[in-house]
């Protein structure tokens, strides 16, 4: 949803490039997702996106996880804090989509060391659990 800037339910490759910026492995990830464009529409709809990410061998590679993590870690601190999540989920029609109390609850569930932030290892563990 954060990448889908115009809210049409699909992610164009331009939206994807803008969202990834100059992150390491961004071009590789874009190339992989181009392969997910099964209807050759020039964009990835929700179903295509889910199908592409269901391949756990590709999706859970450290370099791809790092790229996804870095999209959340806006300040480059190496951790995702509550404010970064709130900022991400408050733009472009997403405001109030997830109450702040819920965000805090989710962070606590993932935050294994109890520091109030999600580091890369905690993010990786969360993503591995999501594939189950």
3 state SS of 9: coil
Q: Which two tokens stand for residue 26?
A: 């961004």
pLDDT at residue 58, as a whole number: 58
Same domain? 92 vs 121: yes
Same domain? 122 vs 104: yes
Same domain? 6 vs 36: yes
Cα distance between residue 37 and residue 114, in whole Å: 40
Same domain? 84 vs 131: yes
75 vs 5, 16, 72, 83, 111, CA distance in Å? 21, 20, 9, 10, 18
pLDDT at residue 59, as a whole number: 56
| Strand ranges (E), the chain | 10-12, 43-45, 79-80, 118-119
Cα distance between residue 82 and residue 100, in whole Å: 8
pLDDT at residue 95, as a whole number: 55
pLDDT tens track, the chain, 132 positions:
777 788 888 888 888 778 777 776 777 777 777 777 777 888 888 777 766 666 555 555 777 788 888 888 889 999 998 888 777 766 555 555 667 777 788 888 889 999 989 999 998 888 877 654
Same domain? 72 vs 131: yes
Same domain? 68 vs 132: yes
Cα distance between residue 26 and residue 51, in whole Å: 19
How many structural domains comprise the chain?
2
Same domain? 78 vs 49: no
Same domain? 36 vs 13: yes
pLDDT at residue 132, as a whole number: 43
Provide the residue range defining the domain that includes 121: 57-132
């Amino acid at each position: 949803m954060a990448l889908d800037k115009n809210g049409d339910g699909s992610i164009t490759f331009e939206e994807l490039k803008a969202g990834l910026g100059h992150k390491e492995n961004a071009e590789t990830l874009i190339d992989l997702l181009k392969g997910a464009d099964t209807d050759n529409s020039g964009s990835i709809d929700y179903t295509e996106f889910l199908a592409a990410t269901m391949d756990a061998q590709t999706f859970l590679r450290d370099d791809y996880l790092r790229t996804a993590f870095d999209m959340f870690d806006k300040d480059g601190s190496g951790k995702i804090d509550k404010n970064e999540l709130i900022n991400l989920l408050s733009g472009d029609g997403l405001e109030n989509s997830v109450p702040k109390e819920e965000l805090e609850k989710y962070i606590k569930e993932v935050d294994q060391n109890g520091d109030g932030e999600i580091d890369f290892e905690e993010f990786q563990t969360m993503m591995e659990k999501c594939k189950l």
